[in-house]
């Protein structure tokens, strides 16, 4: 049941265009953090739920927009994490996804 519910929610995000907006928002924020952010740190900065952040980060990884950085401690959970950041971008760059 959970998988079917997740698929329905994901398809709704794609249909409404919110999926694209979430990816844009996450990528735009990551431009300002060249050392990367954890998924929880992205949640804090965007206000998105962790499941939305995780899904959009995975989408962005698949298309080569974001990269993983060296491990460090998360400022929120204090756990060791692998932060992510935008590949080869500078503040002010415009990123748009199809």
CATH number at residue 23: 1.10.10.10
The number of residues in the chain equals 98
CA-to-CA separations, 98 to 20, 24, 59, 60, in angstroms, rounded: 7, 10, 11, 11
Residue 52 lies in a domain: yes
Tens-digit pLDDT profile for residues 40-85: 999 999 999 999 999 999 999 999 999 999 999 999 999 999 999 9
Q: Which domain holds residue 23?
A: 2-86
Chain centroid, CA 87 distance in Å = 13
Tens-digit pLDDT profile for residues 20-41: 689 999 999 999 999 999 999 9
What is the pTM assigned to this prediction?
0.73
Total domains in the fold of the chain:
1
pLDDT at position 1, please? 47
* Stretch 11-16: mean pLDDT: 55
Residue 41 lies in a domain: yes
* Stretch 81-98: mean pLDDT: 69
């Amino acid at each position: 049941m959970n998988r079917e519910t997740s698929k329905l929610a994901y398809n709704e995000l794609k249909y409404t265009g919110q999926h694209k907006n979430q990816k844009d928002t996450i990528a735009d924020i990551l431009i300002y953090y060249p050392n990367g952010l954890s998924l929880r740190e992205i949640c804090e900065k965007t206000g998105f739920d962790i499941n939305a952040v995780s899904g959009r980060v995975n989408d962005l990884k698949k298309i080569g927009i974001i990269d993983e950085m060296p491990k460090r401690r998360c400022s929120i959970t204090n756990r060791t994490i692998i932060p992510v950041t935008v590949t080869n971008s500078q503040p002010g760059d415009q990123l748009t996804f199809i």
